[in-house]
Amino acid sequence: MGQSIFVKEALRRELDTALRNDSVAEIEDVARRLARRAPTDEFPYEAALAVAYSEGNFAAADTFATYALMRQPRSLAGHLHMFSAYAERKEYDLLLRQFENLARLRSLDEELLTEALIGVFQDSGQWHFLLSYLDTEPKTGNLLLRRLLNEDVILLRLAKLVKKYPSVQAEFIDRIISEKGIEVAFSLWQTFASVPNKNEISIVFNGEFQTRAEPPPFNWTIPYDRAELQEDGGLFVSYPGTGFPLIARQVITAQSGENVLITQAIGRMHDNGGALEWRIRCLRTHVQLHTSVIELVSVSAAEEFEATFNIPDSECAFQAIELHGRPGVLPKPARVEIVSVSINGSPKDKH
């Protein structure tokens, strides 16, 4: 038994050398000897597969790949050949199953494997096979879907799928804004919004600053590292009283004409030490429409701030509402919780 193992290993090394030297006759000779000596070893069949493929004998290559996989289900050479064969033969259901097999092996870079799969469908245009596969929510779904966001030809067809992949929704909306515009993006975002009646979405979405799954920009973006959502709602802000940092931002659709901005806040601010302010501007023209200050007087008592502003009739269907720091003459730290913010106005028919 021991001698047999040594012979087998010697033959494997000999076969490996033959493969490196690209010596077809030697490969075939050593592969046959190794197959007789070690009938359960996949290596001679992988070698025969390489020779058959190089000679264009694809039927034989299929056979050798099958034999290799029978002996070693993790045979990378076998799986790669079958992946290529199914792609060539346009057997897309089998190709996707083979893609799953390769992904489970974890022997290849996932991104390279994903690129290879998507390349097949770029060439064939048979995207519905891949979209149907993604609808089953495979483990590789997030990676595949992120890569598909670059495929303009099917971008809008991804909307229904993206509902099943929350971690991809923000990237999808950003891509839609870039390629199709803010109006299309908002319409699709509404399909993600987890509310009973889409027509009842308030002008400022999530005005109580709850932790929610809906992505920006129609939910809050909070880029400031000294601000965070509280467990029970509310946005806590620690502001040192210097600079105009952007703390929170959201894209909204307030009606044209007069609107009322209402903010509830609680915390501690020092006189002339710094405050917070809301800014509202037209998204298309970048024209600033409104600035109002949140400057607390009481200590740890809730206060309400109300301000009126106007939205022009044209080129201002979408606006950005932003919370910024407002520096003080004598800067001192402020710790504030924005409990809620709302805009009172007659909502547009889609908002």
Q: What's this model's pTM, rounded to 2 decimal places?
A: 0.80
Q: What is the 3-state secondary structure (H, E, C) of the chain?
A: CHHHHHHHHHHHHHHHHHHHHCCHHHHHHHHHHHHHHCCCCCHHHHHHHHHHHHCCCHHHHHHHHHHHHHHCCCCHHHHHHHHHHHHHCCCHHHHHHHHHHHHHHCCCCHHHHHHHHHHHHHHHCCHHHHHHHHHCCCCCHHHHHHHHCCCHHHCHHHHHHHCCCHHHHHHHHHHHHHHHCHHHHHHHHHHHCCCCCHHHCCCCCCCCCCCCCCCCCCCCECCCCCEEECCCCCEEEEECCCCCCEEEEEEECCCCEEEEEEEEEEEECCCCCEEEEEEEEECCCCCEEEEEEECCCCCCCCEEEEEEEEECCCCCCCEEEEEEEEECCCCCCEEEEEEEEEEECCCCCCC
pLDDT of residue 26: 42
**In the predicted model, is pLDDT for residue 9 greater than 50?**
no
Q: Cα–chain-centroid distance for residue 295? A: 38
Fold of 2-135: 1.25.40
The CATH-assigned architecture of domain 227-344 is Sandwich (2.60)
Q: Can you give the residue ranges of every domain in the chain? A: 2-135, 227-344
pLDDT of residue 66: 83
What pLDDT band is residue 89 in, cutting at 50, 70 and 90? very high
Per-residue pLDDT reduced to its tens digit, 168-196: 999 999 999 999 999 999 999 998 887 76
**In the predicted model, is pLDDT for residue 292 greater than 80?**
yes
**pLDDT, mean of residues 35-43:** 56
**In the predicted model, is pLDDT for residue 307 greater than 80?**
yes
**In the predicted model, is pLDDT for residue 38 greater than 60?**
no
pLDDT of residue 197: 63
**In the predicted model, is pLDDT for residue 39 greater than 60?**
no
The closest of 100, 153, 98, 166 to 127, measured between CA atoms, is 153
**pLDDT, mean of residues 41-57:** 73
**pLDDT, mean of residues 241-250:** 98
**pLDDT, mean of residues 226-231:** 97
pLDDT of residue 41: 66
Among 8-12, 75-79, 138-142, 257-261, whose mean pLDDT is lowest?
8-12
**In the predicted model, is pLDDT for residue 21 greater than 60?**
no
pLDDT of residue 63: 81
pLDDT, averaged across the chain: 86
**In the predicted model, is pLDDT for residue 7 greater than 60?**
no
Share of the chain above pLDDT 90, in %: 68
**In the predicted model, is pLDDT for residue 131 greater than 50?**
yes
pLDDT of residue 72: 78
What pLDDT band is residue 36 in, cutting at 50, 70 and 90? low
